Amino acid sequence: MSAPLIWILLPFLAGALILFFLPEKYSSIAGGTLAALLSLAALIFPIDTALLIGSLSIKISASVAFFGRSFVLTAADGALLSMIYGVAAFWLICAYALDFEKRFAALSLMIVALLTASIAVEPFLYASLLLEMAAMLAVPLLVPVYQKAGRGVVRFLVYQTLAMPFILFSGWALAGVEANPGDFGATLQSGAMLGLGFAFLFGVFPFYNWIPLLLEEVSPYVVGFLLWSLTAFTTIFALGFLDRYAWISASPQISSAIVFSGTVMVVSGGVFASMQKHIGRMMGYAAILETGLIVLAMGLRSPRVVDVIFLLLIPRGLELVVWAFALSIIKRQAYSLRLSEVRGLARKYPLAVSALIAAHLSVTGFPLLAGFPSRLALWQELAGYSLTVSFWVFLGVFGLLVAATRALAVFVMADENASWGINESWAQIIMLSLGVAGLFAIGIFPQILQPLLADLPALFLHLGR
């Protein structure tokens, strides 16, 4: 048995089986269980190392060849796989609590499998093709059957598709730069191509306008899932580039450009979030801000860049799932999600509103919540880099905080004598409680992530060393 078969082919096939054969009722729970098992397996069974269980020897080989290309998942990928499938399991089980249709369970498993393939494929430039395939697979999730695709969906597909040729072209150009390092023109060309490719993938300003549009048009839960999965894998893909082409991160100009892009994302995300009248769009801008923080961290040229980025990525998964889940519960009561429609809902859906606000505050880096340790680490690094950049980032985060207090004020402004009541289902109560408990657990004891974080720098040969 090889690792790519277990963590790529198996979930992909399981997704297809769920789509065509499993009844609606069991789809999410089956998908969630499989993802949880895959997460546990990644944690327990080391890849490419013989494991003795009594007289039985088990060894999961690291690679598999496929049409002349190989897919490789090494022992260092174990923690990453565990994290990815663990968060995916939470998304799927929450989807069960929302009674989501089986398309979500099936396609989300297939998307995660394709994205996992993107970090395993050799030559690694093929990852951009797999990312594009995942984006295309997301379209049926975003557009209900027999309905016309909205502007947000079209923009999403356009920007994700535009990224692919830029990255493929830059890969070709980078090979030329490696052969002839003194050729400044080639370096500039390849750098610009690469930058544009990742600008489309990450949704750097102004390429992120599909995010708020999507959050108005389609289910916030589906968009939340895409914002988590695509950004997480794009980040790992980008770190792979920085690792392989060390001159990119060594170049002060390129680093400055990355920091500038990240800062613009953080500031614009925060400022736009503070001005929104739609709580779904607020989540979109918060996700943009958080992606901006990741981009910013990449440009800091810090030896601790890998730790900081994964410390940002892991809580992001939990924040987005809790936020999108709570938003989906609220959306059933207030379809448009405009502030005027969610007024006073804290008394009808106290748990969903509490979870939403906890997730929102976590993204701002509120103490005790999951986002705080990563923000604290990033502030320390930023302070050493530039106080001006720190100020702008601070301003962006301040904007998001204003959005959080605005949303909170509207949620709690119930009419006089409005009674408190819990209208969430038992499954929703359990998942919301688990999510919020997780946010607090990571915020108060970030060392619980250490078993995962300790192995992640091994994914990269040069980065952070």
Partner 1 sequence: MLILISSSLLFLAALVLMTLRMSSANARIAWLVAVGGGALALISVFMWLAQMPFEFSLPAWQPRALFVNPILFRADGLSFPFVASISALTLAILLTAVARPTLTNPFAWAGALALGGLGLLAVTANNPFTLLLIWGALDLVELVAQIRSVDGPAQNERVVISFSTRIFGIGLLLWANIVSVANGSAFDFQSISPNAGLYLVAAAGLRLGVLPLHLPYSAESILRRGFGTSFRLISAASSLALLAHVPAGSLASTLTPFMLALAVIAALYGGWMWLRAPDELIGRPYWVIGLAALAVISALSGNPLGAVAWGCALILVGGSLFLSSIQHVWLNRALLLGAWSLSSLPFSLTGGAWLRALGFFAPFVIAAQALLISGFIRHALRPAGRDSLEAQPVWMRTVYLSGIVLLVALQFLLGITGWGGALQVGAWLHALLASLLAAILVWATPRLRILNPIRAHWVGAAASGVNSVYRNFWFVYRALEGISQTIAATLEGESGIMWTLLFMALFILYLTQGLP
Binding site for partner 1 (CB under 8 A): 151, 155, 158, 188, 192, 195-196, 199, 205-207, 209, 212-213, 253, 256-257, 260, 271-272, 275, 304, 307-308, 311, 344, 346, 365-369, 372-373, 376-377, 379-380, 382-384, 387, 390, 394, 397-398, 401-402, 405, 408-409, 412-417, 444-447, 450, 453-454
**Shortest Cβ 383–partner 1 spacing (Å):** 4
Nearer Cβ to partner 1 (173/401): 401
Nearer Cβ to partner 1 (61/256): 256
Nearer Cβ to partner 1 (31/365): 365
Nearer Cβ to partner 1 (231/374): 374
Q: How far apart are CA 232 and CA 320, in angstroms?
A: 12
Nearer Cβ to partner 1 (212/280): 212
Nearer Cβ to partner 1 (16/429): 429
**Shortest Cβ 456–partner 1 spacing (Å):** 10
Nearer Cβ to partner 1 (369/432): 369
User: Beta strand pairing status for 121-122 and 69-72?
Assistant: antiparallel
First to last CA, the chain: 33
Strand order in the sheet with 63-66: 63-66, 69-72, 121-122
Nearer Cβ to partner 1 (104/285): 285
**Shortest Cβ 337–partner 1 spacing (Å):** 16
**Shortest Cβ 240–partner 1 spacing (Å):** 21
In 3D space, the residue among 443, 320, 450, 291 whose CA is nearest the CA of residue 374 turns out to be 443
**Shortest Cβ 141–partner 1 spacing (Å):** 21
Q: What angle do CA 171, 294, 202 make, to 5 degrees?
A: 50
Give the side-chain half-sphere CA count within 13 A for 84: 29
As to burial, measured by CB atoms within 10 angstroms (0-12 exposed, 13-18 middle, 19+ buried), residue 447 is exposed
- Single-letter amino acid code for the residue at 449: L
**Shortest Cβ 373–partner 1 spacing (Å):** 6
**Shortest Cβ 80–partner 1 spacing (Å):** 16
**Shortest Cβ 256–partner 1 spacing (Å):** 7
Q: How far apart are CA 115 and CA 31, in angstroms?
A: 16
